Chain A
Amino acid sequence: MQYDHILIRYGEMALKGKNIKQFILRLQENIQQKIKEFPDAKVKRTQGRMFVLLNGHDPQPILEKLKKIFGIQSMSLAIKVENEVEAIKDAALYALNNGGNIHKFKVSVKRINKDFPVHSQEMNQILGGHLLINTKDITVDVHHPDLEIKVEIRLEATYITSSVIPGLGGLPVGTSGKTLLLLSGGIDSPVAGYLAMKRGVQIEAIHFHSPPFTSARAKQKVLDLAQQLTKYGKSIKVHIVPFTKLQQEIFREMPDGYAMTIMRRMMMRISEKVCKNESILSMTTGENLGQVASQTMDSMNTINEVTNYPIIRPLVTMDKSEIIEISKAIETYETSILPYEDCCTIFVPKSPKTKPKRDRTNAFEAKKDFSALIEEAVNGIETIKITERTEMESKFDDLL
């Protein structure tokens, strides 16, 4: 006997009204995509439930994949058997023996198939007795069980499930449109991207690269971060903007205290153009109130002036420690803290204004026409499609 499928439960999606079909289809597609390396595993839907049929695959690595898919509230390993008492007894015992270190259990039988000759109450007792006889040091506790073995006798077969494994929750990626994530390489922006994805948003990323001031390794770091995010969704397009000329011009021509603010405004302008070209309707940043100079209320107000696209700021009210915690959980932290210069650390004004004003900023910007340089930056964008496996890694695959 062996677990032969995984039962998938959706959380919030179940609350959606008429759109639910669309959410479920997307989830099914996302799951199928993520487990395609297990050729025989199939995702099936029947009677308002979703299953992964294992067809002989080891459930553990598949569970690991499912734990990274948004839209799954929880999962359970399950066994399907014929509607026969003996078969159900064996399966329940298997589930108990594979339930980990437990002392107290409970059996709950649901008899949906009323043609099944044994009533659910009686079936509870038969199974409970069978489990007690065949195990040691395990007792029944209907109020506080370590493990609940659920038995559903349905028309076509009986399903036995036990431990409930939590999923990520959220909505299936691809059900809430697309956003452009400003990905710097620090701790915050990958977390912002992850949280946007949690609400079903698909992401593309934009990164401002200033060679030779920023190295190829800083760029690789951003691609690595994007790749880590693909584990929670689909492949991610990363737009690398050649930013050196524009950045140098800003720091040469604009007053020191406003250079940082103006640079950020340029980034928003370029991002908006990318959004338009790629039919993306919003931007996402890792901004967080009060963290550094550019993230004051004044600064946000002034930077935001240049675009009327919605800016999603999932981290805006979080504490740094909360952000770090998520970044560790999604395994971007170790990459994020690698000490490479990025475009924000290389040109640092001596005394950036923490309260930049819109009117003054506009006045400074009016003195110089940056439009040609912005155009040049946009035209020079290199777009790299990041999948769960990159070309570089495929090169490494044979080695490892």
Chain B
Amino acid sequence: MIYLDNSATTKPNAEVVQSFQQVTERFFANPSSIHQFGGEAEHLLVKARKQAAEILNVSQSEIVFTAGGTEGNNIAIKGIALEHQNRGKHIITTEIEHPSVFNACESLKKLGFDITYLPVDGNGAISLQELKKAIRKDTILISIMHVNNETGAIQPVEEIGEIAKKYPKLFFHVDDVQGLGKVPLNLKNSGIDLCTFSGHKIHGLKGTGILYVDHRTTLYPLFHGGEQEQGIRSGTENLAGAVSMVKALRLIKELEKTQADRLFQLKEYLRNEIELMEGIEINTPAQAAPHILNISVPGVKPEVIIHMLGEDEIFISTKSACSSKQKDESKILAACGFSKDRTTSALRISLSYDNTKVEIDQFLRALKTAIMKFNKVME
């Protein structure tokens, strides 16, 4: 099997799975129970939180364990909106966000919030000028993703953070689900108040994640209950999930340190080879994350390619898995200004640190064959 759909999800690391299992079996006590067994579980939770804080270079109290990216984004966006609506009801985001951000914002529209969706250019990036222009007196939140899940385009979140710093009444949320472990992002003194991470995109498990919440930021909780996770996310702690998340985080950061260049070279190789192939357009901008390549084969139904590659046990995807239920074109590619024949024929190849050049070569051969076959059938 050649797995090239790592932006949809990744293969859980065996060590991470082992940690999850061991914690589930050995430390099943409720960390909030006051007996010694509960104490051990709590101790482990504190250790996990500490390690996450050290890796992300933030404070322990700024780490909130969540059940993943969608939950993190919802807690951040709705939490800010509900808590600070007295200051204003305006939110700025972009046209290329993940559905968990886009739909969270849409839901707030029904509660009377005004949402500005910033457009992006052909490179998939927003303009800082337009962002500055969009900020109003009643703006309470800017929510902008770091790395786009379909194209790999990178938003200038560090510069946006500098802009956000100048507006003390405004919070800045970054969805870094796709960037974590691939594109470095500094949180400390960055102007970023909230940042979402997900476990299963970094070889962790589904249902795990971290939301970074700057210590000065207050949120209206979506779940009320036992006040776990600093009261932001009540519910008995998923200790095994939290531990596995932090382990996955440590492992991906080690890989990022030693293998980021290799991954980038691998993607560049893939990009250069595809550029040589006829009839294929590349949608990913030149400056992008090291693991995502979005291409279009105009005139060819992407589903057909996916199924043909699938016969060879090669797995890529059309657009993002979370958007694939909408049958039409890619909203994100449309926002980048691509023509309809490109937005309806897009394929996404997303790599992980596990992929090798041999796999890429095999994929390239299979892709060529698939397109050739398709054209023959259609002749």
Contact = CB atoms under 8 A, between A and B. Distances in A.
Instruction: Please tell me the size bucket of the interface on B.
Output: 10 to 19
B39 A399 contact: no
B169 interface: no
B322 interface: no
Interface string B30-53: 000010100110111001100100
Contacts of B39: 215-217, 220
Contacts of B250: 400
B19 A400 contact: yes
Contacts, number: 36
B316 interface: no
Contacts of B44: 396, 399
Interface string B318-334: 00000000000000000
Nearest to B244: A399
Interface in B226-249: 243, 246-247
Contacts of B19: 398-400
Interface in B178-204: none
B61 A220 contact: no
Q: Which of A215, A393, A396, A400 has the most CB of B within 10 A?
A: A400
A400 B47 contact: yes
B134 interface: no
A288 to B, nearest CB: 25
A115 interface: no
A186 B39 CA distance: 18
Given A399-B23, A400-B246, A400-B247, A393 B47 contact: yes
Interface in B140-170: none
Contacts of B247: 399-400
A400 B245 CA distance: 9
A220 B39 CA distance: 8
A396 B247 CA distance: 11
Contacts of A216: 36, 39
B36 A217 contact: yes
B34 A392 contact: no
A249 to B, nearest CB: 27
A392 B51 CA distance: 15
B375 interface: no
B355 interface: no
Contacts of A392: 40, 43
A400 B247 CA distance: 5
A224 B250 CA distance: 23
Interface string A277-317: 00000000000000000000000000000000000000000
A334 interface: yes
Given A334-B60, A334-B61, A396 B47 contact: yes
A399 B60 contact: no
A393 B43 CA distance: 9
Contacts of B259: none
B22 interface: yes
Contacts of B60: 334
Given A334-B60, A393-B47, A215 B34 contact: yes
Given A215-B34, A216-B36, A334-B60, A400 B43 contact: no
A399 B34 contact: no
Contact of A217 (B23, B34, B51, B246): B34
Interface string A197-217: 000000000000000000111
A334 B42 CA distance: 14
A176 B44 CA distance: 36
A400 B34 contact: no
A400 B40 CA distance: 15
11 contacts: A215-B39, A217-B34, A220-B39, A224-B43, A334-B60, A392-B40, A399-B19, A399-B247, A400-B19, A400-B243, A400-B247
Interface of A: 215-217, 220, 224, 334, 392-393, 396, 398-400
Given A215-B36, A334-B60, A396-B43, 6 more contacts: A217-B42, A399-B19, A399-B243, A399-B247, A400-B48, A400-B250
Q: Which 3 A-B pairs have the closest CB atoms?
A: A217-B39, A216-B36, A399-B19
